[in-house]
Amino acid sequence: MDSIDNEVTHDFNPFFRVYKSGRIERITGTPIIPPSHDPITNVLSKDVDISLDPKISARLYLPTTTATAAAKLPLLIYIHGGAFTIESAFSTLNHAYLNSVTATSGVIAVSVEYRLAPEHPIPACYEDCWEVLKWVDQAPDPWIKDHADLNRVFLMGDSAGANIAHNIAVRAGVDGTGPGLKIVGMALIHPYFEFSQPGKLWMYICPDSSGVSDPRINPAAEPGLVEKIACGKVQVCVAGKDRLKGCGLSYYETLKKSSWNGDVEIMETEGRDHVFHLFDPNCEDARILKTLLASFFQSNGK
């Protein structure tokens, strides 16, 4: 039994390993932290259950100034990255970033805790985030019902989370979002796509994928889907030293050449690596990126 449990059958370092016994070892990740009142940003957070079967949850963020605000605030649906396989909406990394973004941007945020591959292969992450979008449309939570403007909803994701955000925006354009919710913008930070042949990781965690012709990983594969993106503005951000920089540039060009009736902008942070803003949140480049996003969230849909 020990030999079976220690024999690696699939090694996707630095994300996870799969052993012959079926055991999955996650190699990378940051600790989980409970919701709280953050004294630095004055942002409140709490966790909510979206679904019990399957298990889907989210962490909500509310600026403490909201209670005295005359107008309702934009609502941000945030989808974390991690190659579809690691990290959490509840991790120290993402929790700190959402506190900061919520305070700086003046939004109410919903950070999605979706099921991870490979235990839950793609499309589980897409389905979970779609369920959260439907939950928001029903506004069942008092923070959302009392303080969020559901005519100003934004999607945002980093890396794999940006991929998920794009696919949710496409589905919203195809299937509709419900009468109570309008997506007006989407911010994709260092997005993960594959415009040539997808790598082994994608094909392993998405076993039903057709590869390069799969629009979930290659948005250019079906231009008719890209043009259905539900929002009117998209902000793409890339980093100069990021190996995924070309993915963001290709995505930007795909939108520019498509029949999608919206505006897309791109910003490059020179000399920086993948998701630098999460690991070095106090640097000047992270501040500039956060200011750009705050402007984006406050200028749309008014």
The verdict on whether 274 is a catalytic residue reads yes
Which residue of the set 100, 242, 258, 277 is catalytic? Answer: 242
Q: Which residue has the tokens 């973004």?
A: 101
Alpha helices in the chain (DSSP H): 2-6, 92-105, 124-138, 142-147, 160-175, 200-205, 223-226, 245-257, 276-279, 284-299
Which residue of the set 80, 190, 274, 277 is catalytic? Answer: 274
The verdict on whether 242 is a catalytic residue reads yes
Work out the angle at residue 278's Cα, subtended by the Cα atoms of residues 276 and 281, and round it to the nearest 5 degrees.
85
Tell me the CA distances in angstroms from 29 to 16, 85, 269, 277, one per residue in order.
10, 10, 25, 16
The verdict on whether 141 is a catalytic residue reads no
Tell me the CA distances in angstroms from 194 to 26, 151, 244, one per residue in order.
23, 32, 9
Q: Which phi and psi (to 5°) does residue 280 adopt? A: -135, 65
Which residue of the set 159, 209, 250, 258 is catalytic? Answer: 159
- Catalytically annotated residues: 159, 242, 274
